[in-house]
Structure 1
Amino acid sequence: MTPAEKNASIIKSTAKALGFDFCGIAKAGFLEEEAPLLEEWLNRSYNGQMGYLANHFDKRLDPTKLVEGAKTVVSLVYNYFPEQKLPESPDSIKLAKYAYGEDYHFVIREKLNEFLEILREEIGEIDGRGFVDSAPVMERQWAQKAGLGWLGKNSLLLNRDMGSFFFLSELIIDLEVTPDTPLAKDFCGTCTACIDACPTDAIVDNGVIDGSRCISYLTIELKDAIPSEFQGKMENWAFGCDICQDVCPWNRFSKPHQEPRFSPNEELKELSKTDWKEITEETFRKVFKKSAVKRTKLAGIKRNVDFLSSK
């Protein structure tokens, strides 16, 4: 076994021990094929008010500019599919499943820090950083290069064994590691379930999303009033949206996660539609104390719920 192969073996066994469902490895370098696609996407203003997606264009396409001396991108999959959805009725307020429990940034960040410490103990001095949706890293593209799946028509990474209800994170390190083989095939075929189901027509082409029309964008990223053209089209989503994932046939393979910190608290389970409409700062802080929902602040949630209620 070569040193690079041994490093790959240590990385994969460590990932499994830390609870990651899949681990893939790719050689760090410039994403040549993705560069013109990203440029065109930005030129079409599909990023809406997400101006940060136009920043650090070079770093976004080349992790060696993000982490000096980087040689390897380790992509990691961590399941968040819940055992049970929050109670739903035709008029229930909905949250994306990833926001049911504690903010994934904190949960996975801790695991990435531990991951790096273990690697340093096992292998020696390693320079690198962990990333979880927190820097200009094209995580889905790197996960595809690492053989973890393919990009679906809804632009999400799809995995044959578990669908798409998972978080992606990365370790970008200066270690030589034997890379995995990218998945050569797109297993979506002629299926258009996600395109057909999107109520705001945000999926404009195969794998191309007009982010400014996506319900997740409208309820989280957009700081202005939600445009009236989306009145009656939001299907009661107040934070994020799971529609394109819920209808995806590959998500029939989703299995419940094993992360207690991703489970909803009792207060969240008990919120009625009236509670959502009348939510106070005190209740918001209590229910969403460690939640990703805090990102919108109380004003954002109230805006969203009011918009849904005025249809």
Structure 2
Amino acid sequence: MINNKTKYTQFIKSEAKRLGFLSCGISKAEFLEVEAPRLEKWLKNNAHGEMRYMENHFDKRLDPTLLVEGSKSVISLLLNYYPSEFQNEDSYKLSKYAYGADYHFVIKDKLKSLLHCIQDEIGEVGGRAFVDSAPVLDKAWAAKSGLGWVGKHSNLLTQKVGSFYFIAELIIDLELDYDTPVTDHCGTCTACIDACPTKAITEPFVVDGSKCISYFTIELKDNMPSEFKDKFDDWMFGCDICQDVCPWNRFSKPHNEPLFNAHPELLDMTKKDWGEITEDTFKKVFKKSAVKRTKFSGLERNIKFLKK
């Protein structure tokens, strides 16, 4: 006879699938012992650059029970964003995750639906949803719950679908059956390290965020550093180089989430169009997009830097 813990675990995983998540793994909510010294060293080396928010809530980043009172389980979920259509080849490049609607809102809605389903089925279950906007080490939790392994480029990888997906969590006060980590399948491959034009992957599994093209084009508020001139490979928002060269991403399949489909104009725009982009066009093309984070002025700055 199936006990309640197993029954609830199976229910949660089947509901996650129904809501469109790629996969679902569950870990015990506890202190991340292995990650603690790594995070401390990364911060001491100033690898977060101007992302000072990474210094905040150090303890909460490592212990979900400090984030959600009485929490017992971390439910990790993956949502595919790999597109079926891509930008014009003669275009400044945008990271694939930003083609469609802002993932924060899309995923938050799905997580809330999942939590409501859990509460309707099981009863009073407390919890919180997290999508990349709170101090949660999402890749560590996803790896801990067997959804993949952290690759040399520091992204989560799976053998079946590569790495083009979002990671999100539900942290709840219900004990469940827990999954176990999978083995690392990067082997001797160094494709991501070799391909990074700014040498941001300083050693296997360690990314210096302050040298990453994504950091420069999204997080950095100052002027672009001149020493990286001609090293951006036409990326104006984010960067996918380390993922594009990864052999495991040969297995990426297009997503089936309509909200992640790109605005038609975005796919057709050329470098000339981007160079002449107006604020009105920006607002129309990126109306509900994560690109709004960099604002029109930020995107304009990035394009000017690429054109010089």
- 1:168 aligns to what SS in structure 2? strand
Letter in 2 for 1:295: R
- 1:30 aligns to what SS in structure 2? coil
Letter in 2 for 1:189: G
Structure 2 stretches lacking a partner, 5+ long: none
Residues of 1 paired with 2:106 and 2:268: CA distance? Answer: 24
Residues of 1 paired with 2:19 and 2:109: CA distance? Answer: 10
1:12 equivalenced with 2:13 (yes/no): yes
The match for 1:221 is: 219
Q: How far off is 1:272 after superposition?
A: 2.0
Q: How far off is 1:277 after superposition?
A: 1.3
Residues of 2 paired with 1:198 and 1:43: CA distance? Answer: 23
The match for 1:74 is: 75
The match for 1:293 is: 291
Residues of 1 paired with 2:22 and 2:263: CA distance? Answer: 24
The match for 1:261 is: 259
Letter in 1 for 2:259: R
The match for 1:234 is: 232
The match for 1:162 is: 161
Q: Deviations over 1:276-300 (max 9, x none)?
A: 1121111111110000000000110
The match for 2:137 is: 138
The match for 2:105 is: 106
Q: Deviations over 1:182-206 (max 9, x none)?
A: 11x2100000000000000000011
Alignment of 1:168-247 (within 5 A): 168-183=167-182, 185-247=183-245
RMSD of aligned Cα (Å): 0.7
Q: Deviations over 1:152-209 (max 9, x none)?
A: 00000001110000000000000010101111x2100000000000000000011100
Residues of 2 paired with 1:266 and 1:161: CA distance? Answer: 29
Letter in 2 for 1:217: Y
Residues of 1 paired with 2:271 and 2:287: CA distance? Answer: 20
- 2:188 aligns to what SS in structure 1? coil
Q: How far off is 1:268 after superposition?
A: 1.2
Cα pair 2:86 2:267 within 8 Å, conserved? no
Letter in 1 for 2:220: L
* TM norm structure 1: 0.98
- 1:23 aligns to what SS in structure 2? strand
- 2:176 aligns to what SS in structure 1? coil
Residues of 1 paired with 2:12 and 2:233: CA distance? Answer: 42
Q: Which moved more, 1:267-276 or 1:153-162?
A: 267-276
Residues of 1 paired with 2:8 and 2:177: CA distance? Answer: 8
From 238, 249, 252, the equivalent of 1:251 is 249
State the identity as a percent. 62
The match for 1:153 is: 152
Structure 1 stretches lacking a partner, 5+ long: none
Cα pair 2:87 2:268 within 8 Å, conserved? no
* TM norm structure 2: 0.99
The match for 1:271 is: 269
